Amino acid sequence: MVAKKNLCVLILAGGQGTRMKSALPKVLHKICGAPLISHILREVSLLNPAGIGILTGHKSDFVKETIKENLSAWGITAPVEFMVQKNLTGSGTAVKDSLPFIKKYDQVLILAGDAPLITADVLQKLIDNHNTKQPACTVLSVIQPNPFGYGRIVKNEKGLFKEIVEEAHTDAKTAAIKEVNSGIYIFEVAPLTKALDKLTPQGPKQEYYLTDTLAMFDKTEVLSEQDYICAMGINSKAQLAQAQALMQERINKKHLDNGVIIINPSATYISAQAKIGQDTIIYPNTFIEGKTTIGQNCIVEPSCWITNSTILDNCHIKSGSYVEESELAANCQIGPYAHLRPKSVLKEKVKTGNFIEIKNSVIGEGSKVPHLTYIGDCQMGKNVNVGAGSITCNYDGKNKHQTIIGDNVFVGSNTNFVAPVKVADNAKIAAGSTITQDIPEGVLAIARNRQVNLDRKGKK
Ligand code: UD1
Ligand code: CA
């Protein structure tokens, strides 16, 4: 193989995406819980290119800021540079406006920001093929059963690349060609720069087609990829839904191959970043989003939503639970219908039951918060039992305050903790108490009125 040249990646995300019929720029639409462009960034990062550039145009600032803010959440650590296309006059102009970036490198791998199913493996094949054959450009083609909308790859009598004919320019003969342009190519930068200058506006919208440059080179290679799905471009909401299903199938297959049990893969939604351990069972209608890790032998019952959370082995997440940015140590049980809001940390063997909400709190090992309870801004020790209907009153209307609860505390049902307040180890709280003062170790705190039984005349 020829020595690797200095390669950069350019992702085109300038287009208006009119066919999406949406206020949201196309590349920010999501499949499997993450924007289209994030899937492409993840795969191209695996190639370790010398640089990654993104060209924005339509709603440029919004697209750029959204991408920048989320790079680390998407797991992208490589630096990304941004270019802006001022006149949205086609993919040719888009690349021309990116020249200040591209010219710093020998080669550029160009991808469309609306084709999220591409994989690093296929891109590596394209790069290797190009470096072996050394043309000015290698285009990735696929055989599309339904080629409508794609540029058709036209070859000469010797079977070599001749030109790409865009949909608007097809005649009966070219329209029937099923080998299409994926919108993914690798170019040598020097000939590409020259060719871009020669483009002329084409078609009903008078666009400058990047695809016209390919016929200007002495040698253009076509690498045909069998898995046509990897080149699917998204131009409409129907295609977005299709791509969602295809990507989900791909992700779920990976987990099934790794030994995860997914009861109904077509109704289970797992992000590309999620990691799940062997023999964990995922029931249908469950969403596992973002950077979530789930250990081995867990059970995730139907209709749970888990985002950016870490769940260790042998946990049981019961139906209808919603878990955001939280950590569960091994052997925890939550739900049904538990809501763990950000920064909830459950230590080993914690048990929560139904209709509980926990936020920014640590629940110590073996503690139980079984029924109808709100725990916010609380540090709870080990083996605490919280009775039904208990609440941390953490907000005084202006500020949030902490509730500190020691080990082995017994909290009677319907207790209110008016924070800031501290309960020392081994204390007991009588049911119905409103705790406004710290409780020393080992005592029984009662903070409620005594019951009075009156006769019909109101006498004791
Ligand atoms: C394009 C290709 C077509 C290919 C198909 C694969 C051209 C002329 N045609 O068609 O051969 O089969 O992709 O999916 O390139 N863009 C800009 N600025 C613009 C216009 C487009 O940045 O002014 C970007 C878009 O954001 C998109 C990409 O270029 O990421 C392709 O544009 P799009 O309008 O989707 O082209 P297609 O009609 O799909
Ligand atoms: Ca497209």
Written in H, E and C, the secondary structure of the chain is CCCCCCEEEEEEECCCCHHHCCCCCHHHCEECCEEHHHHHHHHHHCCCCCEEEEEEECEHHHHHHHHHHHCCCCCCCCCEEEEECCCCCCHHHHHHHCHHHHCCCCEEEEEECCCCCCCHHHHHHHHHHHHHHCCCEEEEEEECCCCCCCCEEEECCCCCEEEEECHHHCCHHHHCCCEEEEEEEEEEHHHHHHHHHCCCCECCCCECCHHHHHHHCCCEEEEEECCHHHHCCCCCHHHHHHHHHHHHHHHHHHHHHCCCEECCHHHEEECCCCEECCCCEECCCEEEECCCEECCCCEECCCCEEECCEECCCCEECCCCEEECCEECCCCEECCCEEECCCEEECCCCEEEECEEEECEEECCCCEEEECCEEECEEECCCCEECCCCEEECECCCCECCEEECCCCEECCCCEEECCEEECCCCEECCCCEECCCECCCCEECCCCCCCCCCCCCCC
C-alpha triplet 107, 112, 114: angle, nearest 5°: 160
Ligand 1: which residues within 6 Å by Cβ?
12-15, 55, 57, 85, 88-91, 93-94, 112-115, 150-151, 164, 166, 180-183, 209-211, 233, 235
Candidate list 39, 130, 255, 371, residue with the active-site label: 371
Which residues have C-beta under 5 Å from ligand 2, the single-atom ion?
Answer: 114, 233, 235
Please state which of the four CATH numbers 3.30.460.10, 3.40.50.2000, 2.60.120.260, 2.160.10.10 is assigned to the domain occupying 238-445. Answer: 2.160.10.10
Nearest CA to ligand 1 atom 12: 150
Q: How far away, in angstroms, is 127 Cα from ligand 1 center?
A: 21
Q: Which atom of ligand 1 is nearest to the CA of 14?
A: 22
Mind listing the pLDDT tens digit of every residue in the chain (460 residues)? 444 679 999 999 998 899 999 999 999 999 999 999 999 999 999 999 999 999 999 999 999 999 999 999 998 998 999 999 999 999 999 999 999 999 999 999 999 999 999 999 999 999 999 999 999 999 999 999 999 999 999 999 999 999 999 999 999 999 999 999 999 999 999 999 999 999 999 988 999 999 999 999 999 999 999 999 999 999 999 999 999 999 999 999 999 999 999 999 999 999 999 999 999 999 999 999 999 999 999 999 999 999 999 999 999 999 999 999 999 999 999 999 999 999 999 999 999 999 999 999 999 999 999 999 999 999 999 999 999 999 999 999 999 999 999 999 999 999 999 999 999 999 999 999 999 999 999 999 999 999 999 999 999 8
In this prediction, residue 48 carries a pLDDT of: 95
Q: Which atom of ligand 1 is nearest to the CA of 13?
A: 26
Q: Which atom of ligand 1 is nearest to the CA of 232?
A: 14
Pinpoint the residues of the chain covered by CATH 2.160.10.10: 238-445
Q: Which atom of ligand 1 is nearest to the CA of 113?
A: 30
Q: How far away, in angstroms, is 351 Cα from ligand 2 center?
A: 49
Q: How far away, in angstroms, is 99 Cα from ligand 1 center?
A: 17
Report the C-alpha gap between 453 and 432 in whole angstroms. Answer: 18
Report the C-alpha gap between 94 and 87 in whole angstroms. Answer: 8
Token pair 């110590």 in the structure block, residue: 364
In this prediction, residue 2 carries a pLDDT of: 45
CATH topology of domain 7-235: Spore Coat Polysaccharide Biosynthesis Protein SpsA; Chain A (3.90.550)
In this prediction, residue 5 carries a pLDDT of: 77
Establish whether 401 is a catalytic residue. no
Q: Which of 85, 89, 91 has most ligand 1 atoms within 8 Å of its beta carbon, as the pocket-test mutant?
A: 91
Q: Is the pTM of this model over 0.85?
A: yes
Q: How far away, in angstroms, is 91 Cα from ligand 1 center?
A: 6
The values of phi and psi at residue 262, to 5°, are -115, 115
Q: How far away, in angstroms, is 149 Cα from ligand 1 center?
A: 10
Nearest CA to ligand 1 atom 31: 112
Name, in order, each residue with C-beta under 8 angstroms of 397's C-beta and a sequence gap of 6 or more: none
Alpha-carbon dihedral angle through residues 337, 343, 346, 352, given to the nearest 10 degrees: -20
Pinpoint the residues of the chain covered by CATH 3.90.550.10: 7-235
Angle between helices 36-45 and 120-133 (to 10 degrees): 50
In this prediction, residue 391 carries a pLDDT of: 98
